[in-house]
Amino acid sequence: MSDPRIITVRPGPGEYAWTFGGAPPVARIKPGTVLDLYTEDCFAGRVRSEKDLVSEVCDFPFLNPQTGPFYVEGAEVGDTVAVHFVSIEPARDWAASTTVPFFGALTSTHATATLQPPLPEVVWMWQLDLERRTCLFAARDSDVTVELPLDPMHGTVGVAPANLEVRSALVPDAHGGNMDTPEMRAGVTCYLGVNVEGALLSLGDGHARQGEGETCGVAVECAMNSVVIVELLKGVSTPWPRLESDGYIMSTGSARPLEDAFRIAQLDLVQWLARDYGLSQLDAYQLVTQGVESPLANVCDTNYTALAKFRKGWLPAGDPHRGLHQQLRETAARL
Amino acid sequence: MSDPRIITVRPGPGEYAWTFGGAPPVARIKPGTVLDLYTEDCFAGRVRSEKDLVSEVCDFPFLNPQTGPFYVEGAEVGDTVAVHFVSIEPARDWAASTTVPFFGALTSTHATATLQPPLPEVVWMWQLDLERRTCLFAARDSDVTVELPLDPMHGTVGVAPANLEVRSALVPDAHGGNMDTPEMRAGVTCYLGVNVEGALLSLGDGHARQGEGETCGVAVECAMNSVVIVELLKGVSTPWPRLESDGYIMSTGSARPLEDAFRIAQLDLVQWLARDYGLSQLDAYQLVTQGVESPLANVCDTNYTALAKFRKGWLPAGDPHRGLHQQLRETAARL
Amino acid sequence: MSDPRIITVRPGPGEYAWTFGGAPPVARIKPGTVLDLYTEDCFAGRVRSEKDLVSEVCDFPFLNPQTGPFYVEGAEVGDTVAVHFVSIEPARDWAASTTVPFFGALTSTHATATLQPPLPEVVWMWQLDLERRTCLFAARDSDVTVELPLDPMHGTVGVAPANLEVRSALVPDAHGGNMDTPEMRAGVTCYLGVNVEGALLSLGDGHARQGEGETCGVAVECAMNSVVIVELLKGVSTPWPRLESDGYIMSTGSARPLEDAFRIAQLDLVQWLARDYGLSQLDAYQLVTQGVESPLANVCDTNYTALAKFRKGWLPAGDPHRGLHQQLRETAARL
Amino acid sequence: MSDPRIITVRPGPGEYAWTFGGAPPVARIKPGTVLDLYTEDCFAGRVRSEKDLVSEVCDFPFLNPQTGPFYVEGAEVGDTVAVHFVSIEPARDWAASTTVPFFGALTSTHATATLQPPLPEVVWMWQLDLERRTCLFAARDSDVTVELPLDPMHGTVGVAPANLEVRSALVPDAHGGNMDTPEMRAGVTCYLGVNVEGALLSLGDGHARQGEGETCGVAVECAMNSVVIVELLKGVSTPWPRLESDGYIMSTGSARPLEDAFRIAQLDLVQWLARDYGLSQLDAYQLVTQGVESPLANVCDTNYTALAKFRKGWLPAGDPHRGLHQQLRETAARL
């Protein structure tokens, strides 16, 4: 007997959301629901060859389409929605990346504004080998090729923001959104604080892989078929998105300048250790200082995103988030 | 027959340097020299128990003593000095960490100035088990203990700065200095651009281990016995310090705000790939974007330090720094 | 005969907007309309004595009530709405200021996150003398009093944002919003680029006066009776809000870190001189460098706001914004 | 009878200092000494026509020559040196400005590093009319000319830094140095904390005028004949440079990001009001918030510099710096 709570969503044109908040839910789901989702790439699928320049083929502001939002029944302000990524699989055997004028870390931008002209707009098409789990970089200006491991992830996952706001799907902030961390891969649970009734969860922006910081602003962008389980933690607040894998607990922060993103993530991790692992704040500060891993997620989006990771094997005894990650791993294994 | 070029330096009191630049060399060495060095901890060895508060026992500005500087014969402006870390071993079975008033990432500081009072000044003494390669955290406010792996490193290694300057040993910048990256461990080669005749290399600030970002501002600080080989690359310029391990090439950047440190390191890595691996700058930008790892080093010092790492197995064919790292590995194996 | 296009709006409870975008218009107005408006203070009038702490009496996120929005007939994306401030007069003889926990420039905040406790929450009530045009500071911890000049202004004026977003009234960005510049006083024209049909203009956040930077995060907050004239410049785009007084043209930028706000404003001013005053971009860069005044507006809000001012008497011949400011001054004089 | 303590210094080639700290004193002076000084421009006088590009004619790192340093007898760590600017007069009837590759606020730089090429290197020669007190801008790409008021100032004034450091004359920090504020004009007293015995005061970098922020990185650079009086305040510490004019007291901060420079200056002003004007810190915070003026000095140098100004007429009764400014004004009037 199949689980009645598997919901499949394959949005057609015009059925995507472009914001967090402000879009009507595509479905109401009960906690525990399994979602089998198709997500389009950040270009809405319009960059399909080296000739497809974003500035010409894309229709601003209709970038970074989100599948959803989903209204999680029972979710109220102050609760936490957990999204467990069972699988994230490229839906095509190719993916695209590009420079975008005045966007990215190694160019001036509309915020870091200079009088210099933009970098050239260049598209790279990546070939994905889903059997061998690789993606192939082919240089544009030489015949160099490099094969990198496939490491599929979602750049964007979030809920409706607080403070009556509606944010573009390109923005990362306390509601999640476009955090662009390679840690958002299969096997991971993402915790998001609920800001509005029903949470209004959506996700998108699949990447076949990306480096830490997403330096040029664009990853190996790819449509995805993803299976996630959505759960609800009543009465647990989560001020900033947290992630949990089998090996790590992880806090995130999204802000500018980048040190503020770092501070938010590190403080959240310190407070997480203090709340769930029996340490005083100062003892947690010391332990985090010596044990934390601090990879960057993006240094190109509206806010920059930093992570603070702590290895579970190095934690004192504790029980974060009521053991939910382990339960979800077990549920996923049975699917 | 022992190698005549092994020089042992165990500084006595008054024989340390406190700056990069401005201190007379303790020895002139030929390229290829092996240095067997003792380095004192950043507190000049004065924090020896939980009662030894930095604000009381340390003698500002005499912090972060450096062993050296060494005058490298033949080193001229525009060359590169390579420092290969053969071994870095704790010289004691204990190490110390602490909060310092108005210093660290999760407090206001003299630069990020607020009206709030400082955090309490608390010292943590760590026990090192050199056999089992662990260091033991003992909470101050509870009886929690956590054992972390020993991972010895040097927080500070550098040469005299450019522009006629003398910088405190607490400062990281283009001359190296107090970068505080856990990547500066045994087996790694550090490349430093030469700014003054003789380079004037020194190092110190041993850490039994530290997390990425050195969040509270102070690692597990420890005196070290370290063996390094110093080499010289004539005619090779290195604008910002680079590291090379068996598995990775790494660029660093030190600046504020943190995104500028990120930009410097990422741009240097892009230019490294363009110079030594046959890619155009834009192709290198794309490849770095998808393959880079971007761990933070420190987010607490005068400048913040970020790294950009690229896995050697993912690089196109190339020969960085004339194969020096591999040669130094082989030399080290024969010591 | 009275001008038929004077519209008076005195919102009752429940009739304010709390966002830019996302709120239905309270009226449709033709270009040239004179608005006679009441604006409530940023606390929604709830801080009325030293005992009224924001954390206790205010109802988050219902802060910074806006009067409006007004749908400007004919306003389309790419046009510019001009708001001329005819008069801004305190509606009460008192005003309030306060510290707010983890908000302001000289405290850690939710973004510049530290482990320190917040500063004490203290309210200052200011007495306004509308005859003598002064406001009276009375110290809380001593009997010192200081009389400062009244200099009424609106901290918040803006239109619906671009990119499908809805932003809290506490946020300044390219759509205007909570810029908190003391330059937004009577006699000034503010130009705002139109992002959605009808523009959806609103304003609020009256200040009896404020310093540059709004250091503690809160000005001398006061309900206002304000008269403004709203005009429309068809086919003129304004990427960031601009201001014009009899003596100055002014560009604004809102971003973090603060140097990005500075860059945006300065670049906009350079481009303004290049577009309307016959200079090349580099010549304009040089002239701005030597002649600009660069006062800060706020260094406490979600984005920081900087201004770049250039004295009209130092400009080459030119005709910015079709002479609209001068026309509006003349219209205002006839009211 | 002429005052015996007037010392005239007209350095010849090779007699300038290029750093703060690290240079031997050119003279020992008693407190109260009047210095009659010639200062060369920041290019060491090498940019004399539109053809003289900095990248070609200047000899890095020999930029920004300083006249001095002067050893102030009796000055010890913890004291304050006061420099009163009696007069600052252009020594030539022309001055120069320029863009410099990868330097300035509206370009990427070596710190804000991008892959973009630099802006073109262009020189502007300004004609000074010392009678009419004007300086004439002539556009390079058109025949537009603009006359701006002469407003001579020193971009650089400072003492030897703390922490055993030697800093390039291009750097502003707690020791003063290259702050580049237009407030450093005749009639102003600058207070600098003493970090080493004798203080080692020097100054240079005359500007015929500059805008706030020194946007392109280079002001209207000019050799100067300046008369200053040097005084010593024993037992008064000054953590960051302060200025005093007849109308204002002013604090400075130099740091990156720019908000940290703002924070330092504002906190210093709050603490100044608390120390010398009988207010509690929170009352001073409130008063500064509503009354401060916050002009920027430079947003282009190694550190950015911000000022916090408070009008003397709005201060409670108090006696800052022992009334020294008023005394120096009177002494200056008698010269």
Q: Which domains does chain C have, with CATH numbers?
A: 6-319 (2.60.120.580)
Locate the chain C residue with the closest alpha carbon to A64. Answer: C163
Of the partner residues A216, A257, A270, the one whose CB lies closest to the CB of residue B259: A257
Q: pLDDT at residue B4 above 80?
A: no
Q: Answer whether D311's CB lies under 8 Å from D288's CB.
A: no
Q: Residue B122 pLDDT > 70, yes or no?
A: yes
pLDDT tens for C220-250 read: 999 999 999 999 999 999 999 999 999 999 9
Residues of A in contact with C16 (CB under 8 A): none
Q: Rounded to whole angstroms, how far apart are CA atoms B289 and A100?
A: 13
- Say if residues C303 and C254 touch (Cβ distance below 8 Å): yes
The chains found to touch A (3+ Cβ pairs under 8 angstroms) are: B, C, D
| Interface touch A107/D117, C-beta < 8 Å | no
Using an 8 Å CB-CB cutoff, list chain C residues near D277.
144
CB-count burial class (<10 Å; 0-12, 13-18, 19+) for C101: middle
Cα–Cα distances in Å, from B75 out to A117, B8, B173?
39, 21, 20
Rounded to whole angstroms, the Cα distance separating B304 from B295 reads: 12
Asked if B144's CB is within 8 angstroms of A290's CB, the reply is no
Q: Please check the confidence at residue B290 and state whether its pLDDT lies above 60.
A: yes
Sign of the CA dihedral D162, D310, C109, B296?
negative
* Distance (Å) of CA C95 to CA C67, C137, C197, D282: 19, 10, 36, 18
- Residues linked to residue B310 through DSSP beta bridges, in sequence order: B249
Best CA proximity match to B320, nearest among B229, B240, B253, B242: B242
The nearest CA of chain A is from the CA of D99 a distance in Å of 12
B263 touches chain D (CB under 8 A): yes
Alpha-carbon dihedral of residues C219, C220, C222, C225, nearest 10 degrees?
-90
Q: Which residue has the tokens 């700065």?
A: B161
What's the CA gap between B138 and A76, in Å, rounded? 39
**Residues B11-27: pLDDT tens digits?**
998 999 999 999 999 99
Residue B73's Cβ-count burial label (10 Å; 0-12, 13-18, 19+) is: middle
Nearest CA in chain C to A60: C163
Instruction: List, as one string, the DSSP characters of A140-203.
Output: SSSS-EEEEE---EEEEEE---STT-BEETT-EETTEES---TT-BTT-EEEEE--STT--EEE
| Nearest Cβ partner for D107 among A106, A116, A118 | A116
What secondary structure does DSSP assign to B174-186, as a single string?
Answer: TTEES---TT-BT
B305 touches chain A (CB under 8 A): no
User: Which residue is associated with the tokens 């894998």?
Assistant: A245
Question: What pLDDT does C1 receive?
Answer: 40
Q: Does the beta-carbon distance from B256 to D260 stay under 8 Å?
A: yes
| Nearest chain D residue to B254, by CA | D111
Tell me the average pLDDT across B224-249: 97
Chosen from B58, B77, B165 to mutate, greatest number of chain D CBs within 10 A: B165
At residue C291, φ and ψ (nearest 5 deg) are -115, -10
Q: With an 8 Å Cβ cutoff, is D250 touching chain C?
A: no
Burial class (CB in 10 A: 0-12, 13-18, 19+), A118: middle
Touching check for D257 and chain A: CB below 8 Å?
yes
CA distance B179 to B155: 6
User: Residue B218 in contact with residue A289, Cβ under 8 Å?
Assistant: yes
Q: For residue D3, count CB atoms less than 10 angstroms from its CB and return exposed for 0-12, middle for 13-18, buried for 19 or more.
A: exposed
| Chains in contact with chain D (at least 3 beta-carbon pairs closer than 8 A) | A, B, C
Q: How far is residue B44's CA from residue B52's CA, in Å, rounded to a whole number?
A: 12
In chain B, residues with a C-beta closer than 8 Å to the C-beta of A259 are 105, 256-258, 299, 304
- pLDDT surpassing 70 at residue B3: no
> Rounded to an integer, what distance in angstroms lies between the CA atom of residue D120 and that of residue D143?
19
User: What is the interface size between B and D, counted as CB pairs within 8 Å?
Assistant: 81
Q: What angle do CA C211, C212, C214 make, to 5 degrees?
A: 70
**Are the C-beta atoms of D276 and D214 separated by less than 8 Å?**
no
Q: Is A24 within 8 Å of chain C by CB?
A: no
What's the DSSP call for residue A130? T
Low-confidence ranges of chain A (pLDDT < 50): 1-2, 4
The 3-state secondary structure of chain C, one letter per residue: CCCCCEEEECCCCCCCECEECCCCCCEEECCCCEEEEEECCCCCCCCCCCCCCHHHHCCCCCCCCEEEEEEECCCCCCCEEEEEEEEEEECCCEEEEECECCECCCCCCCCCCCCCCCCCCCEEEEEEECCCCEEEEECCCCCCEEEEECCCEEEEEECCCCCCCEEECCCEECCEECCCCCCCECCCEEEEECCCCCCCEEEEEEECCCCCECCCCCCCECCEEEEEEEEEECCCCCCCCEEECCCEEEEEEEECCHHHHHHHHHHHHHHHHHHHCCCCHHHHHHHHHHHCECEEEECCCCCEEEEEEEEHHHCCCCCHHHHHHHHHHHHHHHC
Residues of chain A numbered 77-136 and touching chain D (CB < 8 Å): 106-108, 112-119
Contact indicator for D168, D197 with CB cutoff of 8 Å: no
Question: For residue C116, which residues of chain B lie inside 8 Å, CB to CB?
Answer: 107-108, 114, 116-119
Which chains form contacts with chain B, at 3 or more CB pairs under 8 Å?
A, C, D
Determine the distance in angstroms separating the CA of D200 from the nearest CA of chain C, rounded to an integer: 31
D289 to chain B, closest Cα gap in Å:
13
Q: Tell me whether residues A278 and B142 touch, CB distance under 8 A.
A: yes
Chain D residues within an 8 Å CB radius of A115? 106-107, 119
pLDDT tens digit sequence for D279-315:
999 999 999 999 999 999 999 999 999 999 999 999 9
DSSP alpha helix (H) spans, chain A: 54-57, 258-276, 281-291, 324-334
pLDDT of residue C321: 84
pLDDT band at B315 (very low <50, low <70, confident <90, very high): very high
Alpha carbons A141 and A138: distance in angstroms, whole number: 9
- Confidence (pLDDT) at B1: 40
Averages of pLDDT over runs of 10 residues in chain C (335 residues) are 76 96 97 98 98 96 97 98 98 98 98 98 98 98 97 98 98 98 98 98 98 98 98 97 98 98 98 95 98 98 98 90 93 95
Query: How many angstroms separate the most distant Cα atoms in chain C?
Result: 64
In angstroms, rounded to a whole number, what is the distance separating the alpha carbons of residues C267 and B38? 53
Helix D258-276 with C258-276: angle, nearest 10 deg: 110
How many angstroms separate the CA of residue C113 from the nearest CA in chain A? 6
Distance CA A201, CA A72 (A): 8
DSSP code, position B30: -
**Kind and range of the H or E run holding D287:** helix D281-291
Exposed (0-12), middle (13-18) or buried (19+): which is B235, by Cβ within 10 Å? exposed
Q: What is the pLDDT of residue A188?
A: 98
Residue listed under structure tokens 């002139």: B28
Which of the pair, B40 or A335, is modelled with greater confidence? B40
Give me the pLDDT at residue A28, please.
97
Closest CA to A102 of A92, A85, A115: A115
Q: How far is C331 from chain D, CA to nearest CA, in Å?
A: 31
User: What residues of A are in contact with residue D106 (Cβ under 8 Å)?
Assistant: 113-115
